[in-house]
Amino acid sequence: MDLDTTKMHTDSNRCLRHLARLYPSIEAVSGEIIHLRAQLDLPKGTEHFISDIHGEYEAFRSVLSHASGSIRRKIDELFGGRVLSEEECSALGALIYAPERNLPRMLRAAEEETRWYRDTLHRMIEVLRVVSSKYHRPKVRRLLLEPFSDIVEELLYEQEQLRDKADYFNSLIDAVIETGNAKPFIIVLARTIQRLAIDHLHAVGDIYDRGPAAERIVDHLIAYHSVDIQWGNHDILWLGAAAGSEACAANVIRICLRYGLMNTLEHGYAVSLLPLASFAVSAYGDDPCRLFAPKETENAAHAGFEKQLLSRMHKAITVIQFKLEAGIVDRRPEYHMEDRMLLDRIDLEAGTVRIDGQIYPLRDGRFPTLDPEHPFDLTPEEAEVIEKLTAAFRHSTRLQTHARFLFAKGAIYRVHNGNLLYHGCIPMDEEGVFQELSVGDDTVSGKALMDAFTRRCRDGYFKPEGSLEKLDGLDAMWYLWCGSRSPLFGKEKMATFERYFVADPSTHAEERNIYYTLRDSEKVARKILGEFGVDPERGHIINGHVPVKVKRNESPVKAGGKLIVIDGGFAEAYQNTTGIAGFTLVSNSYGLLLSTHHRVESGPSDPVRALGVHYTTEIIETNTARRRIRDTDEGQTILRRIDELTALLDAYRNGTIEPETELSSYYGTDH
């Protein structure tokens, strides 16, 4: 036996002996093999895909509560057309989606309270049985919610149709009602149904910005039972700020000020803007900063003095941002972003700026902190402000907790159950060739580009302060936000300066990467799937980032069904353009279903639209055979585990490893 074979044999024995500590007998290892083999034939769990939430916590929570229509479909299968009317099915759904809101109203409308409780509990338990049927019992037990988990488990598995069990089952229901626990019990059942309706959630980017409560969304994701995240360009900006990137921090603050949505920044993460406010009053106190007034939206309206202060703060951080970004461009020539260094092209006396060889008048020519001889240098006051602001991001306990979670559960892309998930794009040229970029010492494209950037982002957050790896990572996170070959941004440039300071709309154009045209081609989609090792015959690309303009008859299903775009405009800011309130995707054992969400006005007595969101569902693909767990990534993991356990079982039986306990029942001995 050669050395390599001996080493492999030794390693194998070591692994088996470690496994033997967990399964110390033939009985134990045999039982686990039986248990795992049975799991393989359970139906594949339901996956839920959601993208571009953009801080809209209430819409996000509502979509999760009804699982993009999955729960209503189960209600219709159980009760629709025979047991319950359409109105009664809708009312039961509304109760499950939002029990705290709808339970009091439904009780007031009930003719007889005890009878209503009894009927409702029976129906909810039926729904719970259906949504839990895809799971093996230990997993259901883990997912049951406290309190009442033991009682829920009893009701879930008792066969009340059997004569000997019916009285026991009904006695449990009656006892819940008679002890005054029906209300909290209904809430627990509703939350448990929501939890079991979806086996796994995919958040495909852009949790942050635009809306008022991104931090609450991340809290919800942390508490969710099974989730992964693909970073969007807005997410990476916040992660960069959390890691200590001054340029990322400046961009985060500028966007919050631009939309007048300070809640996440100041209240959610306790990042104080007092240093910026003080500096803005000092440096821009005689400047009305009219171009920098915050946008007025349903979520953000501001009084006169507050609006003026926010405008000055907005302009102050914008100028600081341009200076900081120029520093990155200067030390990263491989980014090829010299055209974004515009402060040195300003003629303060003439009030003009030169862009791409053309001279344009400035809409605002007041730059009190700009030194024409050294236009990219921060003033001492600006340097002090950005240092304090960046420190506030670094010292925010909640933000750091959220950042670690987003790194633990996230990456730029993910391959899951034969589908490829990413937020932005695969940078390409006109011929459909993956564009190359130098990242460190390597020139990479396609999958390698995304892998390289994922590593750089982790370095930017986790490497020691002052190390070259950390600085490289911080700069890479900023590039992902706005670089021309960033797989998260997907445009030739971010025309922030032009949109603020130049009136000519031709300078505002941000040309998209040709990917967004080529992705309509099935051939291109198959090429991308192959690049990531995904079977082009069965796999799909799940994409976000660019809202689908339903108002212009644009379809979210592209490339012959190989690519599905699920950004339909959750953010209020996009809905006038898209005409809807977002897309979500559901993948169950039968196929793929696309939900289109429509924002509607809901009256207090309308159970159908009690959440303020209405949806329509379209089946976009049906599996030729129902998919089982053996067909999934989880199934492959289980099969590998079975192989390991089978090897241990063989080792027990041939005497290579001695079990700690005997399978005494084989010999008929008593315990």
> Do residues 78 and 138 both lie within one domain?
yes
> Do residues 192 and 65 both lie within one domain?
yes
> Do residues 24 and 54 both lie within one domain?
no
The SS3 of residue 635 is: helix
> Do residues 194 and 79 both lie within one domain?
yes
> Do residues 157 and 59 both lie within one domain?
yes
> Do residues 76 and 154 both lie within one domain?
yes
The SS3 of residue 553 is: coil
Please identify which residue in the block is written with the tokens 């919800």: 220
> Do residues 134 and 191 both lie within one domain?
yes
DSSP string spanning 576-607? HHHSSS-EEEEE-SSEEEEEEEEE----TT-S
Question: For residue 567, what pLDDT is reported?
Answer: 83
Residue 425 lies in a domain: no
Question: For residue 669, what pLDDT is reported?
Answer: 42
Residue 319 lies in a domain: no
Question: For residue 615, what pLDDT is reported?
Answer: 78
Residue 331 lies in a domain: no
Cβ-contact 527, 432 below 8 angstroms:
yes
Spatial distance between the Cα atoms of 238 and 243, rounded to a whole number of angstroms: 9
**Cα 339 to chain center, whole Å?**
33
> Do residues 58 and 191 both lie within one domain?
yes
Residue 337 lies in a domain: no
Residue type, position 33, single letter? I
Residue 274 lies in a domain: no
Total domain count, the chain: 2
> Do residues 183 and 73 both lie within one domain?
yes
Residue 91 lies in a domain: yes
Question: For residue 299, what pLDDT is reported?
Answer: 53
Residue 437 lies in a domain: no
Tell me the pTM: 0.91
Residue 655 lies in a domain: yes
> Do residues 597 and 656 both lie within one domain?
no
Q: Which domain holds residue 18?
A: 3-42+630-667
Average predicted confidence (pLDDT) for the chain: 90
> Do residues 553 and 646 both lie within one domain?
no
Strand partners, 361: 352
Please identify which residue in the block is written with the tokens 């060739």: 433
Q: Whole-angstrom distance between the N-terminal and C-terminal Cα of the chain?
A: 44
> Do residues 24 and 66 both lie within one domain?
no
- pLDDT single digits (tens) 605-630: 454 444 445 778 889 999 999 999 99
Residues of the chain with pLDDT under 70: 1-11, 159-164, 297-304, 550-551, 568-569, 571-581, 599-613, 661-671
